[in-house]
Structure formats: C-alpha cells, structure tokens
Homo-oligomer: A and B are copies of this chain.
C-alpha cells in the first residue's frame, strides 16, 4: 500500500520549515519581551555559557567553533549587556564569561517561550503524536551530533 507517498525531497523542506518557524517565533516573542537584539546565534551562545559561566575557549569547544569565533560572539554579547568578561583569578591568560542579570532574564524567558511553543504544538497535534514525532526524530538523529544546530549557518562548509 504505497498509495500517495510523499517525495523524498519534501522531508527536509518540512523539517527546515518547522525549525525556522519555531526559531522565528521564539525571537519574535523574545523581541516583544524586551530582547529585540538577541539574535539566534547569541541565544545559543548564552545557553552554552550557562549559569556557571566558562572561558572563551570553553565556549568555543561547547559550540563546536574556533576560539576566534567564540571571541567575536562574546564581544557582541558583552556589548549588548548579556555577559560580563572578567579576568580569571586562577589563570592570567583566561577570560571568565558570566551571564549578567539581563542575560539571565533572557534565558528564563527563552525557556518559558519554548514551553509555550511546545504546548501550542501539543494542542495542534495531540500529546501522543507530538511525543511520537520527537521520538522518531531522536531515532534518526544519532548522538553523533553534539551541537546539531550551532554550525547551521556555516554548515555549507
């Protein structure tokens, strides 16, 4: 019973469309909540720095990018007031990145919006279908990808 199978090329389109939709919607709502300047890339970085903070090199490793790229991102993050850069007392070479209260606010707001969006999907799809969707996607995205989205922009090698 192969009646009406979709074309293979539709799958990536659907995945990309759904992804874009979530991210766009997230940032639309974040902008409304007082974070209009938090670009997706910054959000990921902020998340990666986390409550405990880390150094620039750490951040680079966590995001799977070079230290140079991490330096650039943190510069912007700092300029926007989302993180503080303080010298590491234990290592004179290192710079400690810590999330500011403003940054923390953005993180909690993000988490809230993500749950909000998932709740909306749940309403449209039903709890069972949504969970099935997540499980199926997980099944097809082996652990292999540590930070699957970070190099999305540059994933055109």
Binding site for B on A (CB under 8 A): 1-2, 5-24, 26, 39-41, 110-111, 113-119, 121, 124-125, 127, 129-134, 136-141, 145, 148-149, 152-153, 155-157
**Known A-B contacts A9-B114, A12-B149, A111-B8; A18 and B140 likewise in contact (beta carbons under 8 Å):** yes
* Max count, chain B CB within 10 A of own CB: residue among A16, A130, A155: A16
A-B complex: 8 closest residue pairs judged by Cβ atoms: A8-B114, A17-B148, A17-B141, A8-B118, A14-B137, A16-B149, A15-B19, A8-B115
Known contacts A39-B156, A149-B13, A156-B41, A129 near B132 by CB under 8 Å = yes
Interchain residue pairs with CB less than 8 A apart (5): A7-B114, A13-B148, A13-B149, A16-B148, A17-B145
For A121, give its contact among B24, B140, B156 (CB under 8 Å): B140
A14 with B141: CB separation less than 8 A: yes
Q: How far is the CA of A125 from the CA of B1 in the complex (A)?
A: 16
